[in-house]
Amino acid sequence: MKTPILLELSEITKTFPGVKANNDISFSIKPGEIHALLGENGAGKSTLVKIIYGIMQPDHGQMFFGEKLYKPSEPFEARANGIGMVFQHFSLFEALTVAENIELGINKEAASKDLNRQISEISETYGLPVDPIQRIGSLSVGECQRVEVVRCLLQKPRLLIMDEPTSVLTPQESHLLFQTLTKLSQDGCSILYISHKLEEIRMLCERATVLRDGKVVAQCSPREESARSLAKMMIGSNLKTPQPSKPAFGEKRLSVNGLSINSTNPLGTSLCNLVFEVRAGEILGIAGVAGNGQTELFEVLSGERTVDKNMVQLDHRLVGHEGPTKRRELGMCCIPEERVGHAVVPDMSLWENCILSARTRQKLERNGFLNIPASHNFAEKIVENFNVKTPSVKRDVRSLSGGNLQKFIVGREMLQNPRILVIMQPTWGVDAAAAADIHFALNELAETGTAILTISQDLDELIAISNSFAVISEGRLSEPRPTINVTIEEIGLLMGKTSHFEKNEQNDPP
Amino acid sequence: MIRLEARNQTSRTLLFWSPILAVGITVIAGTIMFALLGKAPIRAIAIIFLEPLGDIFSIAEIVVKATPLILIAVGLSFGFKAGIWNIGAEGQFTIGALSGGSVALALYQIDGAWVLPLMCLAGAVGGMLWAAIPAFLKTRYNANEILVSLMLTYVAVLLLSALVHGPLKDPDGMNFPESRIFHDAATLPILIEGTRAHVGFVTAIVAVAISWLVLSRHIFGYQIKVLGQSQRAARFGGFNEKHVTWICLMISGGLAGLAGLFEAAGPVGQLVPALPVGYGFTAIIVAFLGRLNPLGILLGGFVMALTYIGGESAQIELNLPSAVTGVFQGMLLFFLLGIDVLANYKIRMTQPLSRKLSE
């Protein structure tokens, strides 16, 4: 007998300029199963669920829902078909009550008069305690998620998509959610569960589809796999052999001493007692899945967020409390992950963007006035040395392509002869030739004695260029060690680790 | 359904020409409006837009109106560029007139070349203090400067009225709610004999020149530009958002206060409850008409002043209601903003969702 299939994907392909986000993806979900979609950031998970939920349309391929051809052009149609989705970022109005929010978000037919009773019923059946008359603004993140789940369940979905649901939850809340999901699946609702947390998937899911670089690389039953083997599928084993690290480095340039901060953003990550140092000539690589504290760490290092004086040290000076300008003066240059709108202002020219971060070290400012000729010269020097393709430095930065823009930004910081360089995602979205140029330039800079800290999600890259290696996960940093001693399995485990038990000890609510 | 869809590339040409285009469309819409009202449209337009340029007296009146508009708009452009929306220039204008005017009244009949500069200083400081309230509330408690500055306008206008009805009332004024008429040493020198055009205009030109220099050549202008486009890039660059907020509000408050004092010590010559006539609000239109560029604002100030004078002539010669000036100013801003939207978006007709589903 043929097993019934709820949703079937057949050869789904979606291309964005420069990247194939989904490449010939086929898999199926059975009724009542909890199906995991596993993959690193950028593996194509989000694109795929957006296609299923009707936010995007595939370039090729077909979907079948309950054996019928399914081709949603709007999320509305997905909902009408019985597909619900809980996003990582909630769409709730803070000033309205739970019931009002739910009423707004569901199709009219489903919003009957006794909505409050329905909400209470669902929340009892599935162990989702929510109070219909409370205002969203007064709820915790976990409670907001429950509201979103209830909203989906009211429409009696046959498939529920959950996008990294536990990334915003405390361990206790995650546990409650798992119970709900299990109950749901017993009642016949299928769940597509997106995550990169391996332990969770092993506990919860019956089947898993693993994506890497937009392709399905494995289908497995996670309960029969180890976290280690799952990590290997997710990351792949095509990592290059690490280069031998240089035996000796110079004096200590950057040290971070017991850095702990609370995230100001509810979806951010708090940092917990980070300790590391970077010496002259050393390249320290910090790996980790996005959203584990990298952004927060960068902001502390660049000086955009100031912290206690003692937490950051440049050479012999304690600079935790100093802003970006002072740190640049002392020889620290930083390259953020976000290029447009963080590293550069898109509607300003190349030479104007030089002033943003190079005005102190390159003297592009004289008695408060802009030194326009010097800025032009510096911009031209970057264009020449880093092979940036642009007709003129008077062009707006937004006219540069991704790779050229990154070369410009990297050049702007490197040509300032930094003593310390912090660089995030050095080659994200950059073509292979440009990536090789940037790697070469980083190595060269290290050889002249600059201390370099690289934060990246690209393991190949980190292993290829860094001498020392550490992994950041949930705001904690593993102890840095020489890259040559690190194995892929270890990295995978450190990256996908769920440190629930450690966390429980400290974060238990009173 | 009509939908606006973002253009991939902003139409720079459209953006550059939009003020001129807006003036053109306003003239056309005005013609239609006059025709519907049963007035000779061409003649009405000529009276509003051309006739005031014919004689020296009208031109001087245009200068009188343009002076406060330009001063205030130049000040506002700093904040607007940085995304700080001071909507309460009218209130800062009123407080500037009140504080500078109070100095004049306190020094009544005292002569000296220092009287007028002292009044100017008091006027500017008064405007700055009034703008300091939204600045403090914004930087300290993240209060919305649009609401705070706007509401303070009404407080300022009522304060002026209360004081002119009370302590500042002319003792020999037969109980009219007016202050004494300022003595000569406290009155602005006239530029052109026989008209009301005063030296405040020279100050406005100087303000335009300095602002141009600061905005295009100084690091502060650079900070404003970066902050207006991306707060995150500004933080990365090491710029302090709070400092910029304070300075922008001090510049706009100070210049609005100065404009208020000029109005009191120039064409009006005393403090009266009706001193604030809306220059602070009209200057917002001027700032955008001039593309937030000081030189553009200089031009925009003249165009706007022209609609004031032209509107007055239209009232006198064609028996049109006084609202005609407001209608023209409103149309101008409306068309300007409309064209700006079209420079960034294009219009697309789409099918309603329900029809699509039933197909």
The pLDDT assigned to A170 comes to: 65
* Residue B189 in domain: yes
- Convert A427-442 to b/e letters by CB count within 10 Å (16 or more is b): bbbbeeebbebbeebb
Give the residue from A417, A445, A463 where a domain finishes.
A417
Do A367 and A427 fall within a single domain? no
CB-based contacts of A4: which residues, under 8 Å, 6+ apart?
A: A30, A31
Residue A397 lies inside a defined structural domain of this protein: yes
- Judge whether A241 lies within some domain: no
**CA–CA distances in Å: residue A470 to residues A275, A369, B21:** 11, 43, 59
Q: What is the pTM of this model?
A: 0.72
Pick from A182, A203, A196: nearest CA to A230: A196
- Count of the separate structural domains present in chain A: 3
Q: What pLDDT, on a 0 to 100 scale, did the predictor assign at position A247?
A: 55
Residue B338 belongs to what domain range? 1-39+320-359
The C-alpha atoms of residue A257 and residue A13 are separated, in whole angstroms, by: 47
Q: Are residues A121 and A213 in the same domain?
A: yes
Question: In which band, very low, low, confident or very high, does the pLDDT at A244 lie, cut at 50, 70 and 90?
Answer: very low
CB neighbours (10 Å) of residue A110? 16
Looking at the structure, do residues A408 and A423 belong to the same domain, yes or no?
no
A221-235, A241-255, A433-447, B262-276 — which one is most confidently predicted on average? Answer: B262-276
Interface subset of B 174-213, CB within 8 angstroms of A: none
Surface-to-core class of residue A26, CB atoms within 10 Å of its CB (0-12 exposed, 13-18 middle, 19+ buried): middle
* pLDDT reading at A106 higher than 80: no
Per the domain annotation, does B266 fall within a domain? yes
How far is A313 from A320, CA to CA, in rounded Å?
7
Beta-bridge partner residues of A114: none
Cβ-based neighbours of A494, under 8 Å, separated by 6 or more? A287, A471, A473, A478
Is the same domain home to A63 and A86?
yes
pLDDT at A25 over 60: yes
Query: Token pair of A328, please?
Result: 């640049």
Residue B4 DSSP SS3: strand
Closest chain B residue to A78, measured at CA: B357
pLDDT of A502 reads 38
pLDDT of chain B along its 359 residues, tens only? 677 777 766 667 777 788 888 889 999 998 998 888 888 888 888 888 888 888 888 899 999 999 999 999 999 999 999 999 999 999 999 999 999 999 999 999 899 899 999 999 999 999 999 999 999 999 999 999 999 999 999 999 999 999 999 899 988 888 889 999 999 999 999 988 888 999 999 999 999 999 999 999 999 999 999 999 999 999 999 999 999 999 999 999 999 999 999 999 999 999 999 999 999 999 999 999 888 999 999 999 998 999 888 888 888 888 888 888 888 888 888 998 888 888 778 777 766 555 544 44
Whether B230 sits inside 8 A of A369 (CB atoms) is no
The C-alpha of B67 sits at a distance from chain A's nearest C-alpha, in angstroms, of 28
**Which positions in chain A touch B238 (Cβ < 8 Å)?**
303, 323-326, 328
Residue B328 is assigned to a structural domain of this protein: yes
Same domain, yes or no: B86 and B227: yes
Does residue A322 fall inside a structural domain?
A: yes
> What digits encode the pLDDT tens for the residues A419-428?
999 999 888 7
How many domains, chain B? Answer: 2
Q: In this structure, are strands A34-38 and A190-195 parallel, antiparallel, or unpaired? A: parallel
Q: How far is CA B81 from CA A202, A484, B86, B207, B228, in A?
A: 53, 52, 11, 17, 6
Is residue A147 within 8 Å of A126, Cβ to Cβ?
no
Q: What is the pLDDT of residues A462-494, one digit of tens each?
A: 888 888 989 988 888 988 888 877 776 677 677
DSSP string for A75-128? HHHHHHHTEEEE-SS----TTSBHHHHHHHHS-GGG--TTHHHHHHHHHHHTT-
Q: How many CA atoms lie within 13 A of B332 on its CB side?
A: 27
pLDDT per position as a tens digit, A397-406: 888 877 789 9
Task: Give the highest mean pLDDT range of A74-88, A149-163, B200-214.
Answer: B200-214
Same domain, B95 and B9: no
Instruction: Give this complex's ipTM.
Output: 0.82
Residue A41 reports pLDDT greater than 80: no
**Do A259 and A123 have their domain in common?**
no
Residue located via tokens 């699509």: B356
Same-domain pairing of A268 and A395: no
DSSP B337-350: HHHHHHHHEEEEE-
**What is the greatest pairwise CA distance in chain A?**
83
Q: What is the pLDDT of residue A241?
A: 42
Q: Do B282 and B219 fall into the same domain?
A: yes
Q: Which residues of A touch B235 (CB under 8 A)?
A: 304, 324
**Pick among B7, B212, B219, B236 to test the A interface (most A CBs inside 10 A):** B236
Q: What is the pLDDT of residue A119?
A: 85
What range does the domain containing A382 cover?
341-417
One-letter amino acid at A82 equals G
Under 8 Å between Cβ of A249 and A446:
no
Q: How far is A409 from chain B (nearest CA, A)?
A: 13
Boundary residue ending a domain (A386, A417, A448): A417
Distance (Å, whole) CA B263 – CA B269: 8
d(CA B153, CA B260): 13
Q: Taking all residues of chain A, what is their mean pLDDT, rounded to a whole number?
A: 84
**In a shared domain, residues A123 and A62:** yes
Residue A336 reports pLDDT greater than 90: yes
Identity of the highest mean pLDDT range in A226-235, A240-249, B64-73? B64-73
Q: Kindly state whether residues B267 and B326 are assigned to the same domain.
A: no
Tell which A residues from 69 to 98 touch B, by Cβ distance under 8 Å. Answer: 73-74, 76-77, 80
What is the C-alpha to C-alpha distance for residues A120 and A132, in angstroms, rounded to an integer? 8
Q: How confident is the model at residue A459 (pLDDT cuts 50, 70, 90)?
A: confident
Residue-level pLDDT at B104:
95
B218 and A359 within 8 Å at the Cβ level: the answer is no
| Mode of pairing for the β-strands spanning A7-16 and A60-65 | antiparallel
Q: What is the dihedral of CA A458, A464, A466, A470, to 10 degrees?
A: 50
Q: Are residues B292 and B276 in the same domain?
A: yes
pLDDT at A432: 67
Residue type at A226?
S
Q: How many CA atoms does the CB half-sphere of A32 hold within 13 Å?
A: 6
Residues A94 and A49 in one domain: yes
Q: Is residue A296 part of a domain?
A: yes
| A62 vs A428, higher pLDDT | A62
Per-residue confidence (pLDDT) for residue B9, from 0 to 100: 61
**Separation of alpha carbons B103 and B182, rounded Å:** 10
